[in-house]
Chain A
Amino acid sequence: MVKDNLYKQPIKDKRSIFASTLFMGLGQLLYQKQYIKGAFYALVELAVLLNINTIISKIAGLITLGEARPDLPISQRPNSLFYLIDGIIFSIIVIAFIILYISNINDAIKTQRRYELTGYLPDTKRFLSSLGDTSFAAVGLSPIMLMLVFFVLMPLIFSALIAFTNYSSPSNIPPAKTVDWVGFDTFRSIANQELWAGAFVRTVIWTLLWATLSTTTSYVGGMLMAMALLNRNIKFPKFFRTIFVLPYAIPSMISLMVWRNLLNGTFGPINMLLKQMGIISENIPWLSDITMARISALTVNLWLGFPYFMMLITGILTSISPELYEAAEIDGASKFMQFKKITVPLMLYQTIPLFIMSFSFNLNNFGAVYFLTGGGPTDIASTQSGAGGTDILMTWMYKLTVDLRQYNKAAVLAILVFLVIAPFAIYNYSRTKAFKDGEL
């Protein structure tokens, strides 16, 4: 009841609220005897006012990104990237300040309401004791949250903004040259130039195909091996299982680099072996023909990926109650019907979330492509755009950044990749135990 009244009651004496609106903390200090809180608010505003020149110039820098000064030596020229990053930091500070300012006004209103309702102002002692709990949380969390803002949030904002600049080789690489805002030009140039649009469409299609096929083959491969090893006629299932789990225990980066050499078209031992056995007479271009390279990448990924699903599905299959099968047997169901009506539904139900998780992992599986094929093979168009025959969006972005220094195009891709994977990611997290059970 009291709480309801607190919000309905109109405020009679508005002086403290005006004062707090005028200058942070003033109302709390002058009229409400909230000295500690008021002093904190006032000091924050004072600090901002004292540094107002820096703040304005940094935010202005975010808009201009620095003037080109070819007359100066390179080390003294304005670095557009620093303007951008400082601008983002100071924008975050300004937004935090605005939020604090609003909370200051709300605080003044709340205190005033309580005073008019009860006739008492919360005293300093009470305020301090209420701070006890919050202060441990605040002291513990603030360094961690600062780290997140600085090293996780800010880079994302920075990358997103780069998509709207001309930050790219050869003519806009700081510190020698400046970077400017160009709006949606980079998006347009990717969409309009045949070379880039073609590379983009091909890469997106292959990325989706790759994620679908690589996850499905690993799942089916793992499932078949799990079922084969649960067959009662197979002796020593443990021996087989230990060997089959090896690809999962070895760091995948190492395995991929080994496979890159095994599949080498000219000197690779696999071609040599096949020739010695008389199966082939010509070398198979495992990694240098586009279709062959895609098949090789999927096969190697199957080698890497089936143990995970094998372990998972073995666990699920052994946990299915044998009574289910016995009952089906009595009802006269054939082995195939039992598999179709009992095994498959139970298995799918439990593994679909992990299948989707694995799918979204494969969408961005940098290593499986880059260490094996390097994104190749390349053709004339792809030497310019950087996108080779097996490049997925992720490896293409990496090449645009590191090899071609087309940072703005890489940033556009990052935004597009995000739009593709966000739905999967949101699905993943919405079904995690932490999200479902945990109170926010």
Chain B
Amino acid sequence: MVHKKDFMFYLRTVVLYIVLFIVVLLVLYPILFTLSSAFSDKTSLSQSSPIPFSDPLSTKQFENLFAKTEYLKWYGNTFKIAVMNTIISTVCTTVAAYIFSRFKFRVKKGLLMGMLVLQIFPSFAGMIAVYVLLWRINLLDTHFGLVLIYAAGQLPYNIWLIKGYLDTIPRSLDEAARVDGASYLRTFISVVLPIAKPMVLFLAITSFTGPWMDYIMPRILISTTSKKTLAVGLFEMIKDRANNNFTMFAAGAILVAIPFMIVFAFNQQYLSQVLSAGAVKE
């Protein structure tokens, strides 16, 4: 009897290991294939070997990427847009959240409810309108117009998020500063913001990463090639069926993915905080 039980136990563990190793392969294959393509000397998908790192290594893809496309320009554009979005979003959101959390005024409830309703609408619902609106105010095909749309679109959700966090910070702290004669602005900057730092940092990171991966808005609003963002530029490299640029695309893709994975590693503690904020409280 004991013998049979031992055997079943080992069999289960072995099967489990086999399953885990298959998952490891499935997870790693696309990543390794992309890495090897980026350092391959072949140009198209059809010439590349399906087994990663079996083609000769070269940096040709990166040279092509910088010489034949405006990749660096797109990288710069996206970086610029991300920084602008981070600044505008963070300032507007924290100021508004502070006011909503600490002040009492007549239309407060109405505004908060209004924002709650606004964030139900997905941002793309106004896709056509945003184009016409920027056309009307002559901001079509500009990065500033794109940033305005991003920053405004995130406001309702973010204001609620930060307001909720500020509500948990005891009022006595900033009231003490007020009693000592600090102005509202001063109280906000030197008392409230430092306490809310983890949440503000999380907000800054999400506003920074958002524009890197958005395709729809820049595709609709930006038409000049040199003003494009990375998402649009990268997708256009591989959009056609011939797949002639896959290796070059791979080079461009890993240059975006690596910084993102570094940010992810640093960001994980904040991420787990926010994830757990979403779960039901015990």
Which A residues form the contact surface with B (CB < 8 A)? Answer: 81-82, 84-86, 133-134, 136-138, 140-141, 143-145, 147-148, 150-159, 162, 225, 228-229, 231, 233-234, 240, 243-244, 246-255, 257-262, 264, 266-270, 272-273, 276, 303, 311-312, 315-316, 349-354, 357, 364, 366-367, 370-371, 374, 394, 397-398, 401-402, 407, 410-411, 414, 417-418, 421-422, 425-426, 429, 431-435, 437-440
Contacts and interface: CB of A to CB of B under 8 A. Distances in A.
B243 interface: yes
Interface in B205-251: 212-213, 215-216, 219-220, 231, 234-235, 238-239, 243, 246, 249-250
A85 B128 contact: no
A152 B155 contact: yes
Contacts of A268: 45
A132 to B, nearest CB: 9
B66 interface: no
B126 A159 contact: yes
Given A134-B105, A229-B20, A411-B128, 18 more contacts: A133-B105, A140-B98, A140-B99, A141-B99, A148-B156, A152-B155, A244-B27, A250-B261, A251-B212, A251-B213, A253-B231, A257-B235, A258-B33, A350-B279, A353-B278, A366-B216, A435-B116, A437-B164
Interface residues on B, range: 35 or more
Interface string B7-42: 001001100110110011011101101100000000
A89 to B, nearest CB: 9
Contact of A259 (B30, B92, B99, B265): B30
Given A152-B126, A159-B126, A250 B260 contact: yes
Interface in B96-137: 96, 98-99, 103-105, 108-109, 111-113, 115-116, 118-122, 124-130, 132-133, 135-136
Nearest to B253: A254
B277 interface: yes
A261 B243 contact: yes
A222 B279 CA distance: 16
Contacts, number: 273
Contacts of A152: 118, 126, 152-153, 155-156
21 contacts: A85-B132, A134-B103, A136-B99, A162-B129, A225-B23, A233-B12, A233-B13, A233-B16, A234-B20, A243-B28, A251-B212, A251-B256, A349-B280, A394-B124, A398-B216, A418-B125, A426-B120, A429-B119, A429-B160, A434-B165, A438-B163
Nearest to B157: A429
Interface string B151-183: 111011000110111011000000000000000
A40 to B, nearest CB: 15
Nearest to A274: B50
A150 B128 CA distance: 14
Contacts of A247: 27
A254 B279 contact: no
A432 B27 CA distance: 33
B213 A253 contact: yes
Interface in B56-89: none
A434 B160 contact: yes
A156 B155 contact: no
Contacts of B46: 266-267
